[in-house]
C-alpha cells in the first residue's frame, strides 16, 4: 500500500533521533496519531520518551524535560505553579488544564507506560465560574440579609422605641416624685434598658449599612492596627492588659477599605478584651499578629487568653444576634464577616495553643486584587 490513500493523516511525530527505540517508536507514533488526545509512551524502566503523537508534541512537547517521564511530571506537578488538582494539572506557559491517565502497555517486548492528556480547560473554566457565581450569590445574600434586617428594623422599630423610652423616662420621674413603690421603679428601669438596647442595635446596623461606598486601595496594616489600639487604649489600661504586637517586618500592604478593616479589627480586639474580663489580671494577654500566609494573603490574628469557645458556641458565632454577654448586641462578628467577604477574604476562628481563642481574617495584597 502506498501512502496516497483516501485518508490524509498528519505526519506522525517521531521519538527524538538517536533514541535506541526509534524504529519501534516510529510505528507506535503512527498508531498514537490516530488518538484524538495528546498521547505519549515512555519506557517504564528508563523513563525515556519512546513515542508521541502530534497533539502531544504541540500541547506538552515544548515543556522542559518533556522527553523524560519523571522530568515531565515534575514540570506539571512542580510546586512552581501549584496548579494541580489530583491528576488534573495545568501546563505552564499555555495555562491549559489536562486530565492525565496512565496505562501500562507492552509493545514489541518493551515495557511502556502510556500517557494520555485530555484537555479539560473548558470544563474547569465552567466549574470555576460556576463556583465564583455561587460564592458571589452567597455573599450577596448575606449582605442583603444584614441590609434588609437593618432597613426593616430601622423602619419598624425606631419610632415606637423612641416613644417607649420617653414614656418610661416620664413615668420614672413621676414614680420618683410620689415616692412610688420601688418594684415599679425597677420594672420601669429594666424596660428602659431593654428599649435602649434595641435602639443601640438599630443604630449600629444602620451605621454599617449606611456606610459610604467602600473605597479600596493599598493600605499599611501597622497604621490600621495603631488606630485601633489607640481607640481601645483606655479600656486596655483599665483592664491592666498586656498588648503584644507581632507584625512581620516588611509586611506588604493590604488592598482594602481602611475604615472597614479598622471596624473589623476593633470588633475582634473588643471581643478579645471582653473575653478576658473574668480571668486574673496576670493572665490577661492580647497578641495581634500579622503575616503573609501560604496563599500569599495577609493574615491578621487576634489572640486572647479568655475561656475559648465550646463546639456548640463556635457553631453559632457568626449568626446575627448570637451573644453570651449581658451587654452584647451579638452583631459584631456578623458585620465583620460581611466586611471581610466583601474584600474576598476569610474570617476564621481557632482555639489558641495554651488556652484562649484566635480570631483572624485574611486580606489580599494590592497585586492580587480581583
Ligand X SMILES: Nc1ncnc2c1ncn2[C@@H]1O[C@H](COP(=O)(O)OP(=O)(O)OP(=O)(O)O)[C@@H](O)[C@H]1O
List, as one string, the DSSP characters of 45-98. Answer: TT-BEEEE-HHHHHHTTTSTTTTBHHHHHHHHH-TTT--EETTEEE-TTT--EE
- 270-309 mask for Mg ion (x: CB under 5 A)? -x--------------------------------------
Tell me if 320 contacts Mg ion by CB under 5 A. no
Name residues contacting ligand X, limited to 239-268 (CB under 6 A).
267
Grid cell locating 199: 435602639
Task: Name 116's bridge partners.
Answer: 39, 101
Determine the distance from the C-alpha atom of residue 270 to the mean position of all C-alpha atoms in its chain, rounded to a whole number. Answer: 23
Nearer to ligand X by C-beta: 57 or 206?
Answer: 206
Of 357, 356, 336, whose CA–CA distance to 346 is shortest?
Answer: 336
Pick from 208, 317, 348, 350: which binds ligand X (CB under 6 A)? 317
Nearer to ligand X by C-beta: 252 or 332?
Answer: 332
- Please report which residue ranges of 276-331 form alpha helices under DSSP H: 311-316
Shortest Cβ distance from residue 87 to ligand X (Å)? 42
Q: CB within 8 A of 67, min separation 6: which ones? A: 16, 48, 49
The answer to whether 336 and 267 are in contact (CB under 8 A) is yes
Shortest Cβ distance from residue 258 to ligand X (Å)? 21
Q: CB within 8 A of 120, min separation 6: which ones? A: 88, 97, 98, 99
Tell me if 332 contacts Mg ion by CB under 5 A. yes
Tell me if 325 contacts ligand X by CB under 6 A. yes
Tell me if 360 contacts Mg ion by CB under 5 A. no
The answer to whether 225 and 289 are in contact (CB under 8 A) is no
Question: Which partner in Mg ion, ligand X, none is near 201 (CB below 5 to 8 A by kind)?
Answer: none
Tell me if 186 contacts ligand X by CB under 6 A. no
Pick from 53, 271, 338, 362: which binds ligand X (CB under 6 A)? 271
Question: Which partner in ligand X, Mg ion, none is near 325 (CB below 5 to 8 A by kind)?
Answer: ligand X
Shortest Cβ distance from residue 68 to Mg ion (Å)? 58
Name residues contacting ligand X, limited to 286-315 (CB under 6 A).
304, 306, 309
Q: Which residues bind Mg ion (CB under 5 A)?
A: 271, 332
Amino acid at each position: 500500500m502506498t501512502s496516497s490513500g483516501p485518508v490524509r493523516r498528519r505526519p506522525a511525530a517521531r521519538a527524538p533521533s538517536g533514541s535506541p527505540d526509534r524504529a519501534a517508536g516510529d510505528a507506535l507514533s503512527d498508531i498514537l496519531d490516530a488518538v484524538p488526545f495528546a498521547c505519549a509512551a515512555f519506557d517504564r524502566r528508563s523513563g525515556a520518551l519512546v513515542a508521541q503523537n502530534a497533539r502531544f508534541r504541540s500541547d506538552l512537547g515544548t515543556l522542559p524535560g518533556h522527553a523524560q517521564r519523571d522530568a515531565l511530571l515534575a514540570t506539571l506537578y512542580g510546586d512552581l505553579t501549584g496548579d494541580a488538582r489530583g491528576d488534573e494539572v495545568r501546563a505552564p506557559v499555555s495555562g491549559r488544564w489536562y486530565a492525565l491517565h496512565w496505562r501500562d502497555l507492552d509493545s514489541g517486548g518493551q515495557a511502556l507506560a502510556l500517557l494520555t492528556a485530555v484537555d479539560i480547560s473548558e470544563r474547569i473554566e465552567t466549574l470555576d465560574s460556576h463556583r465564583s457565581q455561587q460564592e458571589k450569590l452567597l455573599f450577596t445574600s448575606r449582605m442583603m440579609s444584614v441590609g434588609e434586617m437593618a432597613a426593616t428594623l430601622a423602619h419598624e422599630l425606631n419610632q415606637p422605641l423612641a416613644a417607649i423610652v420617653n414614656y418610661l423616662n416620664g413615668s420614672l420621674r413621676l414614680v420618683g416624685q410620689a415616692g412610688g413603690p420601688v418594684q415599679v421603679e425597677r420594672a420601669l428601669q429594666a424596660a428602659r434598658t431593654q428599649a435602649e438596647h434595641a435602639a443601640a442595635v438599630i443604630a449600629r446596623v444602620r451605621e454599617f449599612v449606611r456606610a459610604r461606598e467602600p473605597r479600596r486601595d493599598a493600605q499599611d496594616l501597622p497604621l490600621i492596627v495603631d488606630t485601633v489600639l489607640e481607640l481601645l487604649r483606655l479600656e486596655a489600661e483599665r483592664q491592666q492588659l498586656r498588648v503584644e504586637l507581632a507584625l512581620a517586618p516588611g509586611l506588604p500592604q493590604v488592598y482594602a477599605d481602611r475604615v472597614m478593616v479598622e471596624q473589623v479589627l476593633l470588633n475582634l480586639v473588643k471581643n478579645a478584651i471582653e473575653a478576658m474580663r473574668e480571668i486574673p489580671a496576670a493572665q490577661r494577654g492580647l497578641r495581634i499578629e500579622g503575616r503573609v500566609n501560604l496563599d500569599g494573603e495577609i493574615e491578621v490574628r487576634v489572640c486572647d487568653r479568655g475561656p475559648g469557645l465550646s463546639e456548640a458556641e463556635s457553631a453559632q458565632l457568626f449568626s446575627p444576634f448570637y451573644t453570651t454577654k449581658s451587654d452584647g448586641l451579638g452583631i459584631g462578628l456578623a458585620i465583620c464577616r460581611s466586611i471581610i467577604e466583601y474584600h474576598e477574604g476569610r474570617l476564621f476562628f481557632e482555639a489558641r495553643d495554651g488556652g484562649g481563642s484566635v480570631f483572624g481574617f485574611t486580606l489580599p495584597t494590592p497585586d492580587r486584587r480581583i
